[in-house]
């Protein structure tokens, strides 16, 4: 039987692989991340993340205190906060760990309250303290952005207890650890304050950028998975036919190019992920998704090296190549499944 190539002229296979990857990345950039796009997450399905559980707060006894390097110390009841001019914003809260939810948040612009307090010239940051012991911070410039809210409603209803009742912060375009819940105290400070996670090594710059958005991580993993699947399928088919004395069904170069793309993309994604997670979390491998990715990519790297040796007629490494590529792809699929699970929490 004559060899059948999956692509007309396999010398174009690398360019085709690159084109597919660029198409995937380009399509991801077209996703609507504007406030008007995307589906609203019901309140009872919104991700719940906290460090010490959900505190119980009596709304009649609640006070929001604003003090520090200000000329006017303020204290608001919940009714006081609700009586101020409010705005509503449809925004997505994204966790560094993966979960996200989209809701219509209603509240008072933080800068309205800061203007009432009148900040001293020495002020550097605004610190937020929660009833559960959590804290975080924003720079003065970030805190005065018009879309940063002291929020008391979510999807037209009072904040659910697990979402920060009676008051939480809403900080668009920042990772979720800046969206403090159950806020009882806002302190303007004249020093470089570090909040709960920031003092534990997380980045104080929590802006979500295209480079830090996990969407691109997912897109590149998808491209790697397509290449890995093509490499695995073509390798198994050709290997079976070779063992049975037949001719290759798929041009071996297609298998090689797909295998190279799979390994290289996986390595690039891992390096990028390590850099981003260390920058934002101050740690690497804090989930099973991340822990499994490291041995998966190590096996894929071995598969890449042994694949190159096989092209150079070093047939003794064939068994190692098979074990490394099959094991690496299996772990790769498991990391993808765990990553999807994280995103859906």
Average pLDDT, the chain: 83
Specify the length of the chain in residues.
345
> Which residue is listed with tokens 């490494």?
317
Indicate the SS3 state at residue 239. Answer: helix
Q: For residue 70, which of 127, 119, 141, 111 has the smallest C-alpha distance? A: 119
Higher pLDDT, 202 or 33: 202
State how far the Cα of 97 lies from the Cα of 253, in Å rounded to an integer. Answer: 38
Between β-strands 74-76 and 87-94, what pairing exists: parallel, antiparallel or unpaired? unpaired
pLDDT single digits (tens) 195-244: 999 998 888 989 887 655 566 777 888 888 888 888 888 878 877 777 77
> Residue 236 has which token pair?
């198994």
Least confident of 18-22, 226-230, 232-236, 258-262: 18-22
- 307 in Cβ contact with 321 (< 8 Å): yes
* C-beta of residue 261 within 8 angstroms of C-beta of residue 16: no
3-class SS of residue 145: coil
Q: 0.85 exceeded by the pTM?
A: no
| Confidence band of 26 (pLDDT split at 50, 70, 90) | very low
Helices 318-343, 214-243: inter-axial angle, 10-degree rounding: 150
Identify whether the C-beta of residue 43 lies closer than 8 Å to the C-beta of residue 151: no
CA separation for the pair 33, 111 (Å, rounded): 25
Question: All domains of the chain, ordered by start, with CATH?
Answer: 10-31+211-343 (no CATH), 43-200 (3.90.420.10)
CA–CA separation, 254 vs 232, rounded Å? 11
Whether the pLDDT of residue 310 is over 70: the answer is yes
Tokens of 239: 């290997």
With the C-alpha atoms ordered 143, 113, 65, 120, is the resulting torsion angle positive or negative?
Answer: positive
Measure CA 41 to chain center. 18
Q: What one-character DSSP code corresponds to residue 197?
A: T
């Amino acid at each position: 039987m004559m060899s059948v190539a999956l692509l007309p002229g396999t010398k174009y296979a690398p360019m085709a692989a690159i084109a597919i990857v660029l198409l995937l990345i380009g399509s991801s950039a077209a996703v609507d991340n504007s406030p008007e796009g995307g589906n609203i997450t019901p309140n009872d399905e919104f991700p719940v993340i906290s460090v010490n559980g959900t505190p119980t707060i009596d709304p009649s006894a609640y006070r929001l205190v604003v003090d520090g390097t200000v000329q006017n110390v303020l204290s608001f009841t919940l009714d006081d906060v609700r009586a101020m001019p409010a705005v509503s914003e449809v925004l997505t809260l994204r966790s560094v760990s993966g979960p996200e939810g989209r809701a219509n948040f209603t509240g008072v612009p933080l800068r309205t309250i800061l203007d009432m307090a009148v900040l001293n010239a020495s002020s550097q940051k605004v610190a937020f303290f929660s009833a559960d012991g959590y804290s975080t911070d924003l720079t003065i410039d970030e805190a005065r952005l018009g879309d940063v809210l002291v929020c008391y409603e979510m999807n037209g209803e009072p904040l659910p207890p697990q979402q920060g009742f009676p008051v939480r912060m809403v900080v668009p375009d920042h990772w979720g650890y800046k969206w403090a819940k159950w806020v009882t105290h806002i302190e303007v400070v004249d020093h470089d304050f570090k909040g709960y996670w920031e003092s534990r090594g997380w980045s104080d710059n929590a802006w979500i950028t295209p480079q830090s958005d996990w969407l691109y991580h997912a897109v590149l993993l998808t491209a790697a998975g397509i290449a890995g699947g093509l490499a695995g399928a073509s390798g198994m088919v050709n290997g079976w036919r070779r063992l049975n004395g037949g001719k290759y069904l798929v041009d071996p170069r297609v298998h090689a190019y797909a295998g190279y793309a799979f390994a290289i993309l996986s390595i690039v994604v891992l390096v990028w992920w390590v850099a981003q997670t260390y920058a934002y979390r101050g740690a690497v491998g804090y989930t099973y998704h991340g822990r499994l990715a490291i041995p998966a990519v190590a096996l894929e790297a071995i598969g890449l090296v042994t694949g190159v040796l096989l092209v150079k007629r070093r047939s003794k490494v064939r068994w190692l190549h098979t074990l490394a590529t099959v094991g690496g792809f299996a772990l790769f699929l498991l990391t993808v499944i765990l990553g999807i699970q994280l995103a859906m929490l």
